[in-house]
Structure 1
């Protein structure tokens, strides 16, 4: 089981990384001596003010960006081959990141005007050979707002058929729908329609390979 290492004298950076890793449920270890790093740690996170160590190290003052740059190491690689960002349009858009067919993160935004900043942060955060944005073709008014918000994003955008991506939920789940949109070429509407309604985390783990499978 791989863990991320944290080596820093920047307490603000440390606690921000700590909070996010706990939120992501990613195992980690605090490194006290850079010459004594556990064998299950593929990469160490540090702030830009920390010293350069003789080990694979990501130095960044943005905790979320540092973690996103570190995620491929947990999958035994330095960068992803391809990333698809799924967006389920609506007043509270769902966003999901599918990297090399692994669901890395999925979340809901408070409004359509938060889309651009969050997508730009995802784009600058992950290292990948290819990245594309997939937006569901539902909710045309909000979809058009989202496209307008993303007008300056330098990543290909595709509008995809989201038919069936909200099944079998009586209450639409933007997060699960966004994950299905990101993975649209592998989405099986007939199979999903036979699945009983379950909690979001359970549903996600039934349908997708998540980062937890590698930890």
Structure 2
């Protein structure tokens, strides 16, 4: 489960809970359920309401469909029609809530291996992490992330370990529109799996390593 990451000056990361909620204002219960499930995976509370009067005060961002939200002036509104999946919808919600709506860069940090840890960043904000066991699933998510951040300058950070996996990974990255000529930094993995990231077992270690690789290169400074 991904939770909000508090970055420490010593160069490692420690997890805390998100300090805000996201509301889904819609009568589309399927959309609301998918967003709640994705929020649960991240450790982000997503509240489903059908009336603007029921939106909690702790909410910073509202997700809705055009024509359903009415004239809401107290919250930033993100429209579901503008994004291909609940994942990219919540990415945008986190970015807006954290004040990164006008970000200029998008960074993908990857810990290569038989299990691939990935950290997704916008400007200096760690948006989410993930673990993959196949390149097909990773490629699909990378394509969606880059497509959803089309106006941003992309960067890629890859750990120096597991060269037998790294070369295949780089070839796949170069095949993705928007990443063909993106700068790729190869960064030492020494010490990146240690300390304070929420998430048990190997999955947590892979995601922690990916986030620490980005932190080591100075890409990640804050989180929501």
TM-score bucket of the superposed structures, by smaller chain:
0.7 to 0.9
2:188 paired residue number: 162
Secondary structure in 1 aligned to 2:212?
helix
Deviation at 1:107, TM superposition (A): 1.9
2:98 paired residue number: 75
Unmatched runs of 5 consecutive residues or more in structure 2: 1-18, 196-201
Deviation at 1:115, TM superposition (A): 2.2
What is the alpha-carbon distance in structure 1 between the residues aligned to residue 155 and residue 207 of structure 2? 18
Contact conserved, 2:108 with 2:121, CA < 8 A, in 1?
Answer: yes
Contact conserved, 1:80 with 1:128, CA < 8 A, in 2?
Answer: no
1:200 paired residue number: none
Which of 58, 66, 71 lines up with 2:78 in the alignment? Answer: 58
Contact conserved, 1:137 with 1:160, CA < 8 A, in 2?
Answer: yes
Deviation at 1:32, TM superposition (A): 2.4
Q: CA RMSD in A?
A: 3.0
Secondary structure in 2 aligned to 1:9?
coil
Contact conserved, 1:92 with 1:112, CA < 8 A, in 2?
Answer: no
What is the alpha-carbon distance in structure 2 between the residues aligned to residue 79 and residue 136 of structure 1? 28
1:94-173 to structure 2, matched below 5 A, reads: 94-126=117-149, 129-153=152-176, 154-155=178-179, 156-166=182-192, 168=194, 173=205
What is the alpha-carbon distance in structure 2 between the residues aligned to residue 151 and residue 161 of structure 1? 18
Secondary structure in 2 aligned to 1:51?
coil
Unmatched runs of 5 consecutive residues or more in structure 1: 188-207
Contact conserved, 1:95 with 1:108, CA < 8 A, in 2?
Answer: yes
TM-score where L is the length of structure 2: 0.70
What is the alpha-carbon distance in structure 2 between the residues aligned to residue 184 and residue 52 of structure 1? 42
Q: Deviations over 1:184-212 (max 9, x none)?
A: 3249xxxxxxxxxxxxxxxxxxxx8664x
Q: How many residues in Structure 1 have an aligned counterpart in Structure 2?
A: 190
Contact conserved, 1:98 with 1:179, CA < 8 A, in 2?
Answer: no
TM-score where L is the length of structure 1: 0.73
Q: Deviations over 1:159-190 (max 9, x none)?
A: 31224144559x89322221122223249xxx
Greater relative contact order, per chain length (Cα 8 Å cut-off, separation 6+): 2
Which of 21, 25, 28 lines up with 2:46 in the alignment? Answer: 28
Secondary structure in 1 aligned to 2:120?
strand
Larger Rg: 1
Contact conserved, 1:3 with 1:29, CA < 8 A, in 2?
Answer: yes
Contact conserved, 2:36 with 2:45, CA < 8 A, in 1?
Answer: no
Moved more, 25-34 or 138-147: 25-34
